[in-house]
Structure 1
Amino acid sequence: MTSSTTKSELQSLYTVQRFENVTGDLGKQNDLILCFPSAINPTKSLNKAVIFFGGDVQNYPEVMSQHRTNNIYIHWNLESTARILAKRFVDSLIIVIKPKEMLLNTFSIYSNFVEFDQDGIPMLFTNTNSNGLTHVSKLYSKALEIYENKQDCDLDKSSHVLCDSVSEKSDARPVIGCLAELPVSFVGFSKGCVPLNQILFEVATKHLSPETSDFVSKIKSVYWLDAGHNGRQDTWITSDFVLQKIASTTMELFVHITPYQIKDINRPWIGKEQRKFIQKLKALKADVTEIRHHFDEPGSLDLHFSILTEF
C-alpha cells in the first residue's frame, strides 16, 4: 500500500465479501473472498479476474488478531490483501482462495489442490489423482456466478427478492455476457505458489476437458511472489517438459523474489531451483520477467510480506 492510500480509504473503495464452503470439483470446498470496486457501475465490464493464493500466517483478521504471534502481521490478513490486490489490478474481480486447512492457524494446507503429507509438506508433481486445475476452474465459475448474482441483487433491491449468493445443490450455471470472457491472472504468494505450481503442472501434463481447456485459454498472466514451502524440493518448477509446455503458451510470467526465500542458508535448494526455473524459461524464449526486491538488505519476514505491495 502506498502512503497516498490509507487503510480506511482502501476499505471504502473496495467491497470485500467472504463466501464459506464453496464447492468446486468432486464436492471439495474452499472459502472464497471476493473483492471488487465499490463504486463500479453494474453495467460496466470488469477488465480482469485475479485468482490469489496466500501464504502461511495469512488468515481471516479475527483469527490472526487472537494468535499470540501472528497478530503482529494482521495487516496482511486475507481481506486486507484482497484490497491491496484490487488497488494493484484496477477494475478487476479479485478472488482469494483460502486453504482448506490452516494447521495451528498458521500453516496453509492446500490439500484440495495437491496432496500433503502428515508433516504439512506438499507432494507436488507426482502421479496422483490431484485435480487442482479442475477444482480451480469450477471455483472460478462459482465466483463469477456469485459476483453476477450480487450485481443482479443490487439492481433489484427495491423488489425485496431474496438473492442467494450461489446454489451448492447444482453445478455452476453458465455465466453470460462479458464476465465469462474475462482474462485471468494467477498470483501465488509464498506457500500459495504450491497450488499455483500444481495447476501449471496439470496444464502441461493432463488431458483437459473442453470446459477446463476453455478456462486455461483465459489465463493470460502468472505471478510468483517469493515462492516457498517446508519441503526440501519442488519449490519451483524445473521439469523440462512442463516448462516447455508453459513457454509455448502466450502467458506472461512474472517472478518477484526477496532474500527471505532465495538466500535462506537453511534452505539452499530454493535459490538453486529458482535459478534453474528462470534460466530454462529464458532459454525456451518464454515471456518471463524476474524482479528482485531488497537484495541490498538481509532477508526478513517483513520484507517478504512487503512484496505484496511492491510487485
Structure 2
Amino acid sequence: MIERLSDAQNIARILVSKLGPSVNAWVVESSTFNGPFAVYKEFIPSVNSRGEPKCYDPSGFPASTFTALLLSKCFEEAKKLITGRQHEASPSTMHFTASTSSSCQPKTIILGFSKGGTVLNQLLSELAHSTLQPTGTLLHFRKQVVRDSPKIQEGNEIFPMSKDSLLNSISDFHYVDVGLNSVGAYLTEQNVIKKIAEWSSHGTAGIHFTLHGTPRQWCDSNRPWIRNEKDRLLQLLQDEASRSGGKLLVCERFYFANCPPNLQMHFEIIENLDMS
C-alpha cells in the first residue's frame, strides 16, 4: 500500500480521477534526500540538512520561480517525447494535443503532502509579499490540436510560465497530512494570512484552503506542535474568512478519525482525499 501510494505516476492518476481528465497533474518530488529526509532546498533555501525550514523567507521568490521553471522544462521534455513518437508512427499526420485554457491563464491547485507542506508554506509567504493584482480567472478547458511543432503561445497558456503567472493563478491550497519533526509544518504568521486575505478580496474568484489530516499527524503525542500549528492556522484563516465576503474559504477534513495512528493511513489519505 505504501509503495503504491508513494509512486508519482499513481499519485497523478489519483489526482486526475478526483479533479477530472482535463487537468494537468504534476507530482513534484524532492530532488535531494538525506537518508529518509526529503530536502526541498531548491524551493526553500533556508532548510537544514534534514529538510526542516529555518524560516519562510519570500526574498527572491524561490518556490514560485523554481516551480515555474520546472513545469516549463518538463513540458518541453514531454513535447519532445510525444512528437517523437508521433513522427515514428506517421510523420505526415504528426500533431500534439493538450488541454488549454480559454482564458489567458489556467487555474492552479496546490497540494502539499507530508513534508511537501513546507513548499506550500513558502509559496504562501511569496504570494503574501508579491505585488501582483489577482485576476480571479477561473479555468475553462478546451482541446487544442497544434500541427507539426507545438509552441506555447502567450495569452493561451497550458500552465503558468512564470513565477508571477503561477502565483496569480493559484485558487486552492490543500495541506495533506503535513508534519515535521520540528516546528514549521503549518504557516502561522498572522501578517502573512492577513495579506493573503487582502489579496484574495481583490479578485473575482477568491482563494480556498483545505486542511486534510489523519491521527498519524494530528494526534501524535510526541509531536504536539503539529496539531497546535494546524489549529492556529485554521483559526487565522477562519478569522479572515469571516471578513472576506466569501472570497476566502477554509475547511478542515479529518480522515480515519476512529483508527489508531499508523504510517499506512498517512499514505491512504491520498486515495481518500475529498477535493470537493
TM-score by length of 1: 0.65
Residue of structure 2 equivalent to 1:289: 251
In the alignment, the residues of structure 1 paired with residue 33 and residue 257 of structure 2 have an alpha-carbon distance, to the nearest angstrom, of 30
Aligned mates of 1:307, 1:177 — CA distance in 2: 29
SS of aligned partner of 1:214? helix
Task: Give the Cα separation in 1 of the matches to 2:70 and 2:9.
Answer: 18
CA distance in 2, matches of 1:153, 1:178: 25
Give the Cα separation in 2 of the matches to 1:125 and 1:292: 26
CA distance in 1, matches of 2:209, 2:70: 23
Q: 2:168 & 2:132 partners in 1: Cα distance? A: 11
Equivalent residues of 2:213, 2:254 under 8 A apart: yes
Q: Which amino acid aligns with 1:240?
A: Q
User: Contact (CA 8 Å) 2:179, 2:217: kept in 1 or not?
Assistant: yes
State the partner residue of 1:78: 8
Alignment of 1:195 onto 2:126: no
Question: Which of 268, 289, 301 in structure 1 is aligned with 2:224?
Answer: 268
Corresponding residue number in structure 2 for 1:245: 195
Distance 1:73 1:81 in 2: 12
Query: What is the CA–CA distance in structure 1 between the aligned matches of 2:116 and 2:271, rounded to whole Å?
Result: 16
Q: 1:159 corresponds to which residue?
A: 91
Letter of the 2:266 counterpart = H
Tell me if structure 2 keeps the 8 A contact 1:247–1:287: no
In the aligned structure 1, how far is the partner of 2:162 from the partner of 2:58?
A: 22
Shift of 1:193: 0.6
Q: 2 CA distance for matches of 1:186 and 1:290?
A: 16
Cα distance in structure 2, aligned partners of 1:183 and 1:147: 21
- Deviation of 1:275 (Å): 0.4
75, 93, 112: which one pairs with 2:42? 112
Change (3 A) 1:96 1:240: same
Matched residue type, 2:193:
L
Paired with 1:127 and 1:255, the residues of 2 have a C-alpha distance of 22
**What amino acid is aligned across from residue 191 of structure 2 in structure 1?**
F
Runs of 5+ in structure 2 lacking a partner?
Answer: 134-160, 201-205, 242-247
Q: What residue is the counterpart of 1:217 in the other structure?
A: 168
State the shift of 1:276 in Å: 0.8
Deviations 1:200-225 (A, max 9, x none): 11111245699422222211211110
Give the aligned CA root-mean-square deviation in angstroms: 3.0
Change (3 A) 1:291 1:269: same
Query: In 2, Cα distance between the equivalents of 1:226 and 1:207?
Result: 30
2:67 corresponds to: 136
Contact kept in structure 2, 1:184 and 1:220, CA below 8 Å: yes
Aligned residues of 1:95 and 1:143 also touching (Cα < 8 A): no
Q: CA deviation at 1:145?
A: 3.8
Equivalent residue number for residue 186 of structure 2: 236
Q: Which residue of 2 aligns with 1:172?
A: none
Superposition deviation, residue 130 in structure 1: 6.2
Counterpart-to-counterpart distance in 2, 1:81 and 1:94: 9
Aligned partners of 1:113 and 1:135 also within 8 Å: yes
Cα offset, 1:226, TM superposition: 0.8
Structure 2 CA distance, aligned partners of 1:124 and 1:84? 32
CA 1:135 to 1:127, structure 2 compared with 1: closer, same or farther past 3 Å? closer
1:124 CA drift (Å): 2.9
Q: Which has the higher contact order (CA 8 A, sep 6+)?
A: 2
Counterpart for residue 123 of structure 1 = 54
Is the Cα–Cα contact under 8 Å of residues 101 and 110 in structure 1 kept in the other structure? Answer: yes
Shift of 1:265: 0.7
Shift of 1:161: 11
Residue from 187, 191, 212 that aligns with 1:256: 212
Which residue of structure 2 aligns with residue 307 of structure 1? Answer: 269
- Contact preservation (8 Å) 1:188, 1:224: yes
Q: Tell me the number of residue pairs that the alignment of Structure 1 and Structure 2 aligns.
A: 227
Structure 1: which 5+ runs fail to align? Answer: 1-71, 164-174
Percent identity of equivalent pairs? 25
